[in-house]
């Protein structure tokens, strides 16, 4: 119970200063606008790693354990976060143009404005495209890096070792990867969640996506339990 309170307190410490201090919030917006990928590294490195800690808590009752590899996970999540931030810009820029080409006149302009049904259509389209093309590749690579960290005892030096992709792909539990991770979490969680993401102002999209990394930790825990059955 004390560990859960401490975990919740850490989350509060991360977000509360930006709520209480207008100057700090202004600095965040300015720095985020000028260094979006640097911020993406830290947002995902911190929040998504905390999500994995929460997933471990659900599975084992502990937020950390020997061989879990918090530091290498944070580094990997930071790098993946930059990749995600780039993908979000690519899909957010290209998909509305495709929607307009297919007849959704005004979608590009709508994505830069306040909420409208056309903006909702654009956000859903971006999420749909990203989660049915980018997401499966991302999820598989994340699973491989996760396996690599665990197989090397959670040591930071494992990040310098070549990753045997072929071996890990062959050993991956595709029944769970397809039947739960792809088939259930993508249509029933990630597409709706990222639709909300792309409705938000651009300054908050990557942050919200990183916060969803906490939810991802829970989903990974459920997937791991299913994989043991």
pLDDT digit string, tens, across residues 171-226: 999 998 999 889 999 999 999 999 999 999 888 888 888 888 778 777 766 666 55
Residue positions counted in the chain: 229
Q: Rounded to an integer, what distance in angstroms lies between the CA atom of residue 195 and that of residue 122?
A: 9
Question: Is the pLDDT confidence value at 84 over 80?
Answer: yes
- pLDDT 10s digits, 147-161: 999 999 999 999 999
- Helix 202-228 to helix 70-101 angle (10° resolution) is 120
- pLDDT 10s digits, 110-154: 999 999 999 999 999 999 999 999 999 999 999 999 999 999 999
> pLDDT grade, residue 82 (50/70/90)?
very high
Would you state the pLDDT for residue 210?
86
Look at residues 102, 101, 177, 95 and name the one whose alpha carbon lies nearest to residue 129: 95
Global pTM value: 0.89
Alpha helices in the chain (DSSP H): 2-20, 22-34, 36-60, 70-101, 107-110, 117-129, 135-151, 165-171, 174-176, 191-199, 202-228
Give 217's contacts (C-beta < 8 A, 6+ positions apart): 48, 50, 51, 52, 53, 54, 55, 56
Q: Rounded to an integer, what distance in angstroms lies between the CA atom of residue 215 and that of residue 122?
A: 24
Would you state the pLDDT for residue 6?
87
């Amino acid at each position: 119970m004390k560990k859960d309170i401490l975990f919740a307190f850490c989350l509060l410490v991360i977000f509360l200063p930006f709520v209480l201090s207008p100057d700090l919030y202004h600095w965040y917006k300015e720095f985020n606008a000028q260094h979006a990928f640097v911020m993406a590294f830290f947002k995902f490195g911190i929040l998504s790693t905390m999500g994995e800690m929460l997933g471990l808590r659900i599975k084992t009752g502990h937020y950390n354990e020997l061989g879990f590899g918090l530091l290498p996970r944070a580094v990997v999540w930071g790098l993946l976060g930059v990749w995600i931030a780039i993908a979000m810009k690519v899909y957010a820029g290209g998909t509305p143009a495709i929607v307009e080409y297919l007849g959704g006149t005004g979608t590009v302009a709508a994505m830069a404005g306040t909420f409208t049904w056309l903006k909702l259509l654009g956000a859903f389209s971006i999420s749909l495209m990203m989660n049915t093309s980018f997401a499966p590749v991302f999820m598989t690579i994340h699973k491989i890096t996760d396996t690599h960290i665990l197989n090397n005892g959670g040591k930071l030096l494992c990040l310098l070792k070549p990753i045997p992709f072929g071996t890990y792909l062959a050993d991956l539990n595709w029944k769970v990867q397809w039947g739960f991770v792809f088939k259930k979490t993508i249509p029933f969680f990630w597409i709706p969640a990222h639709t909300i993401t792309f409705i938000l102002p651009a300054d908050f999209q990557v942050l919200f996506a990183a916060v969803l990394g906490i939810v991802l930790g829970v989903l990974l825990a459920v997937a791991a339990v299913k994989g043991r059955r």
